Amino acid sequence: MNIKLFLPCITIFSGISYAENFTYLQSESTVYLYSQNKQYIETIAPSLNKFNIKFEVKKSIDSKDDKNLYIICDVSVIDKHNLPKYYIAYQSLDLNSHQLTQSYAEKLANAVAVWDPSKNNINRYRSIIHNYLYFPSNYKHADPVILPCFMPIATLNTYKELLVYSNQKDTDISSHLPALFCHTVLQNPKIIVEAGVRGGESTKPLQKALNFSNGVLIGLDIEETAARSYSSVNNGIFLLMNDLDFDKYYEQSPFAGKKIDVVFIDTSHLYEQTLKEITLFAPMLSENGFLSFHDSNVTPLEHAGYVRLNGSSDRAPGNPRGVTQAIKEYFSLEFDEYKYFNATFTKNGLNWNIIHYPFCNGLTIIKKVKSA
């Protein structure tokens, strides 16, 4: 996978190198953008540029092209036989005044994803089309929407499967499953540790990511029932233990001496334990490995109830916000957990990138940035 990291200029903040400007992965592959209406191209292009996505505006579509991802804004007027194998449909019709025909619905459902700038439109088809994402201009949650543009073509069917699942099954982590899959795949991981398995929701994207990298998934939980989630995991190991004891196991395991590429943490959410978890796992990361934390914004968005990307909402139990408190303490960071946050910084001589998603109880990814 030919992926590199784009970093903006770094400024100084609170005694550490810190950049609050936008930063993101940059893919060497090119996305094709097609529309018969220049207005739609001008609407989408700024978001692609913002996320450093290489794209080329096409004057025609090659239906036999199965090596590139297309973003198509005029799916409604294109014969389904002329559509490429992999495409994102930018849903540009106003469904208040245009009928959603069976033919058009099929073309949307066949897309890798449907990007729609109208919640009203989505509400008209969400019961029959499940691969949708709300995507207006200047969207504060555009980050997880554009992730498939970075993905290898071979992974897009799995991405779509997780997107459909996340829109149909509402849980406290469902909106993060496609994004967690994407970030994990782009690591090409050989070793993943899942600290806190519960019912196996986070296991799904981690397991699927390993199908493309031939690695191993190690699950840790203090509840015996969590072992069920690993019964069908290829190259999976379940350990009934407190994750703070993992280093003792690891030193005597077949993986001793090997670095870990991805650590997912969803345990007690208490400040003291989370701080110890970061202290334990951060030194065990590979040179560009990452820590990821669920429930980093468990006090709901807007202080009223957490929201999901599919537009649904729910209530979360009270929480002392221990996860975010520990992250800020260990990495000497300060950010508003109610808002999307993306920054680069240095800590103890190491370069890091943090991406914080505030919706669906919060997901925070903190990645080591390999020196050039």
3-state helix, strand, coil in the chain (%, to 5): 35, 25, 40
**Alpha-carbon span 351 to 370, nearest angstrom:** 7
Write phi, then psi, for 371 (nearest 5 degrees): -65, 145
| Alpha carbon distance 266, 176 (integer Å) | 13
The reported pLDDT for the residue numbered 29 is: 83
Give the domains, in start order, of the chain with CATH numbers: 12-22+171-368 (3.40.50.150), 30-151 (3.40.50)
Q: What is the pLDDT of residue 319?
A: 65
- Contact between 355 and 291 (Cβ < 8 Å): no
pLDDT of residue 190: 97
- 190 near 208, Cβ under 8 Å? no
Mean pLDDT by 10 residues, the chain (372 residues): 36 38 62 94 92 93 94 94 97 94 97 97 97 94 94 97 98 97 96 97 97 96 97 95 97 96 96 97 96 88 77 79 95 94 93 96 94 62
How are beta strands 260-265 and 285-294 bridged, if at all?
parallel
Question: Rounded to an integer, what distance in angstroms lies between the CA atom of residue 94 and that of residue 245?
Answer: 55
pTM (2 d.p.): 0.92
Query: E strands, the chain, where?
Result: 3-6, 11-13, 16-19, 24-27, 31-34, 55-58, 70-72, 87-90, 113-116, 132-134, 191-195, 216-221, 236-240, 260-265, 285-294, 306-307, 313-314, 341-347, 350-357, 363-368
What does the pLDDT read at residue 298?
Answer: 85
In the numeric block, the tokens 């700038």 are attached to 117
Q: In this predicted structure, what is the pLDDT of residue 145?
A: 97
Ordered alpha helix ranges (H), 130-245: 142-146, 156-168, 177-185, 203-210
Residue with tokens 């804004």: 73
CA–CA dist 34, 63 (Å, integer): 13
Name the nearest CA neighbour of 201 among 308, 299, 116, 285. 308
**Alpha helices in 283-345, H assignment, sequence order:** 322-331
Please state, in angstroms and rounded to a whole number, the distance separating the CA atoms of residues 139 and 33: 19
Residue 6's pLDDT is what?
35
Sign of CA dihedral 310, 31, 109, 173: negative
